[in-house]
Amino acid sequence: MFKTLQPLILASRSPRRKRLLQSVGIEFRVEPSPVREINEGAGTPEELAAGLALLKAESVSALFPHFWVLGADTIVVFQDRILGKPVDRADAAGMLQILSGRTHEVVTGMSLINGAGGVRRSGTVVTRVAFKDLSRGEIDAYVRTAEPMDKAGAYGIQGIGGFLVRSVEGSYTNVVGLPLCETLEWLTEAKVIEPA
């Protein structure tokens, strides 16, 4: 659907972000950033996500200054508490219990950098997600699938975890890990891609 006009790097090891970009025909290479994800820091969750996305993009752009580099970081927030990736099954179950029957926010920070051209663009997209009331059996069964273990907030909306979600207000792909609409707008405006 889109063709790539300039070399692009995705500074992420997320298979979900990779699949989203591939789904619209964009050609890119993957160069994961060595920046360690943190779940706390000064500022709002939006500032934290945007700051981490920028650090990821900058670290890769320093190695590939003539490429466009897209960095992203997604966090799950409930009542100003950031829920990162669970450390073990008990942690995953605890996160799901917190989110059960409640609405939380998924915040993705994005940065697009071209080191040679000195171009930098950063921003965030926020989506509100409402969970159904979960029974202890549903939580335990979902945790046993191991799907929650590498995902912020301990769930994957695009997988088995879709059964947890009652409603989504905002970008669905943001909850998956990359707001596709906004990403394509940024890449088109920067003339990195165009409709095929």
Q: Decide yes or no: CATH 3.40.640.10 for domain 2-195.
A: no
| Through-space distance between the first and last CA atoms of the chain, rounded to whole angstroms | 5
Domain ranges of the chain: 2-195
Question: Is the pTM value of this prediction over 0.75?
Answer: yes
Closest CA to 178 of 95, 71, 76, 44: 71
pLDDT, position 139 = 98
pLDDT, position 37 = 72
Per-residue pLDDT of the chain (196 residues; tens, 9 = 90+): 999 999 999 999 999 999 999 999 999 999 999 988 776 666 899 999 999 999 999 999 999 999 999 999 999 999 989 998 999 999 999 999 999 999 999 999 999 999 888 888 999 999 999 999 999 999 999 999 999 999 999 999 999 999 999 999 999 999 999 999 999 999 999 999 999 9
φ/ψ of 9, rounded to 5, equals: -120, 135
Rounding to the nearest 10 degrees, give the CA dihedral for residues 133, 136, 141, 144: 120
Using alpha carbons only, what angle is made at residue 91 by residues 159 and 53, rounded to the nearest 5 degrees? 65
- The residues assigned a catalytic role are 73
